[in-house]
């Protein structure tokens, strides 16, 4: 069932859980994630990041992800992740994404709030949910020019008053594209933000979060937990294994089958923890 982010978050909260959101890069991992969610009766978000958009484009991604979501037995949100250009967001809305994230984390507070309000004006008439970010979750890749900084509770409160989004991403110690589970989480900071901001908070870069802390993030106020690298690792490692074990195999469907199973298994594991 295709749903907005707001509805998927509501359903997750009603069940006393967080919403797991997974970056996917095509049909194979999208279908695998939804299969895992269906088996547990859990809502889920399929997210398209900048890499996926650059590779396939908004129209193709929208067709694939919307079809997978529409055929699902659970609520599935189709979400544009980390968009920095209003034109990209407008295109995603026009092609049927049910949720968009405007990432103004590298802008001033005032500019971030101003552009987020413009996104709210664009998304509202289409019934599309909006996520924004205050503070800035960093990246493990040192080649990226990016200034990370923690989210201050009062800053988050002021931002939400200025731009009342459906979900707000905050920086509390996670890092994008971490491979090892070594994130130094600041749970008290998350609790303080949650006390002041009564909207689902979003944790980006959760692959680096130790498994035992995923549920704690939800209990401290996180409503949406984003995961991407963990599925890339699962898919990539299994694909490499299949190629090495079957050097004469050229049928991509046969090669991708075990990769989809690996992604489904990893998604299922994370769903159980969130």
Cα Rg for the chain, rounded, in angstroms? 18
Q: Is 81 a catalytic residue?
A: yes
Q: Which residue has the tokens 């009342």?
A: 164
- Could you tell me the two tokens for 228? 């991407």
127 C-beta neighbours (distance < 10 Å), count = 10
DSSP bridge pairs for 77: 3, 45
User: How many Å apart are CA 199 and CA 160, to the nearest integer?
Assistant: 8
| Overall residue count recorded for the chain in this entry | 274
Mention every residue, 6+ apart, whose C-beta is less than 8 A from residue 146: 106, 136, 138, 139
- Determine how β-strand 44-48 pairs with β-strand 19-23: parallel
Kindly name the residue from 81, 103, 166, 251 that is annotated as catalytic. 81
| 3-state SS assignment for residue 209 | coil
User: How many Å apart are CA 272 and CA 274, to the nearest integer?
Assistant: 6
DSSP bridge pairs for 222: 201
User: How many Å apart are CA 129 and CA 223, to the nearest integer?
Assistant: 14
User: How many Å apart are CA 103 and CA 126, to the nearest integer?
Assistant: 20
User: How many Å apart are CA 2 and CA 20, to the nearest integer?
Assistant: 15
Give the residue numbers marked as catalytic: 81
């Amino acid at each position: 069932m295709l749903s907005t982010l707001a509805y998927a978050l509501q359903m997750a909260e009603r069940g006393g859980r967080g919403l797991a959101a997974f970056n996917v890069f095509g049909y194979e991992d999208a279908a695998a994630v939804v299969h895992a969610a269906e088996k547990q009766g859990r809502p889920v978000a399929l997210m398209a990041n900048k890499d996926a958009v650059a590779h396939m484009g908004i129209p193709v991604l929208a067709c694939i992800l919307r079809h997978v979501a529409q055929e699902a037995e659970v609520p599935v949100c189709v979400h544009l992740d980390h968009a920095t250009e209003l034109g990209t967001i407008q295109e995603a809305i026009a092609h049927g994404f049910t949720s968009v994230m405007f990432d103004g984390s590298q802008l001033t507070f005032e500019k971030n709030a101003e552009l987020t309000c413009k996104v709210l004006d664009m998304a509202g008439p289409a019934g599309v949910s909006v996520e924004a970010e205050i503070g800035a979750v960093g990246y493990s890749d040192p080649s990226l020019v990016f200034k990370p900084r923690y989210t201050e509770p009062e800053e988050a409160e002021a931002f939400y008053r200025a731009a009342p989004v459906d979900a707000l991403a905050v920086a509390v110690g996670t890092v994008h594209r971490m491979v090892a589970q070594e994130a130094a989480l600041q749970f008290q900071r998350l609790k303080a933000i949650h006390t002041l901001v009564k909207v689902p908070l979003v944790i980006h870069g959760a692959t680096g979060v130790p498994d035992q802390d995923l549920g704690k993030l939800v209990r401290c106020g996180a409503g949406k937990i984003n995961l991407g690298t963990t599925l890339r690792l699962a898919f990539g490692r299994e694909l490499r294994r299949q190629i090495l074990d079957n050097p004469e195999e050229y049928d991509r469907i046969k090669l991708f089958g075990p990769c989809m199973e690996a992604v489904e298994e990893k998604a299922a594991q994370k769903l159980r923890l969130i």
